[in-house]
Amino acid sequence: MGNRMKEGEDYEDAFAPVQHATSEQVIISIEAANDLELHSCDLAQAFIQANKLDEGINCRVFITLPKGSDEDPDTVFEVLRPLYGIPSSARALHLTLTKWFKLQGFKTAGFEDSIWVCKAGGDYEDRLIVSAHIDETLMACKSSATLEKFKTMFLTRFEGTNEGPVSTYLGTELISYRVTGPSRSNNLCMSRRFCKHTEHGTSPQ
């Protein structure tokens, strides 16, 4: 369990960075100020698409089969892919994404290890900004053609869905006024869901 991990023993095998909420807001602000395309992709069963960790306490996991199996009860099987519930799965996914992005010419955005930036040139004609929050990705680019090319490459390597232009992301509602003015965002979407699940009688306006 996470509260029992110790630095120097198993902490590094499980830690997976996520971007700060402020950084997500900055990406959305950059999109609004520069009239960028803002799209998202959703990974399907994200963890099992990652490569296992090569080393560490949690890199190899073995399981026994359930009762009723025809196999020898003393037989164990090694899990070949990270699964939900395994402490190292989130880190395995992060490292897999990072390796792929580097091969595509991306670099991390300073201290944000879950946000990647690719400068214009090479495989992509325009600059791309991509962030990943486990299985949800947010991507911004000036050129719709470059963005579509990137999404095709991304969804060729990782199984998922092209969600197209962003209307909500991590509970934030995004409203675009690309013809009459800049985009804006608000948290009404998350607020309404929160009130619904807590059976709160007040509906946010």
Q: What is the pLDDT of residues 12-40, one digit of tens each?
A: 777 888 888 888 888 888 888 888 999 99
Q: Is the pLDDT of residue 64 over 90?
A: no
| Predicted confidence (pLDDT) at residue 97 exceeds the cutoff of 50 | yes
**DSSP-derived 3-state class of residue 39:** strand
Assess contact for 42 and 142: CB atoms under 8 A.
no
Upper half-sphere CA count for residue 62 (Cβ side, 13 Å): 6
Of 1-5, 73-77, 96-100, 122-126, the range with the lowest mean pLDDT is: 1-5
- Residue 18 in tokens: 């996520």
The pLDDT tens digits of the residues spanning 160-170 come to 999 999 887 77
Please give the model's pTM, rounded to 2 decimal places.
0.78
Cα distance between residue 170 and residue 55, in whole Å: 32
Q: What pLDDT is attached to residue 2?
A: 55
Q: Are 34 and 126 in contact (CB under 8 A)?
A: no
Query: Which pair of tokens denotes residue 4?
Result: 């029992």
* pLDDT of amino acid 44: 94
Q: Edge-to-edge strand order for the sheet containing 160-165?
A: 107-109, 112-118, 128-133, 136-141, 37-43, 160-165
From the CB of residue 171, how many other CB atoms can be counted at a distance below 10 Å?
A: 14
H-state helical runs in the chain = 11-14, 21-34, 89-103, 144-157, 188-197
| 116-132 pLDDT tens trace | 999 998 889 999 999 99
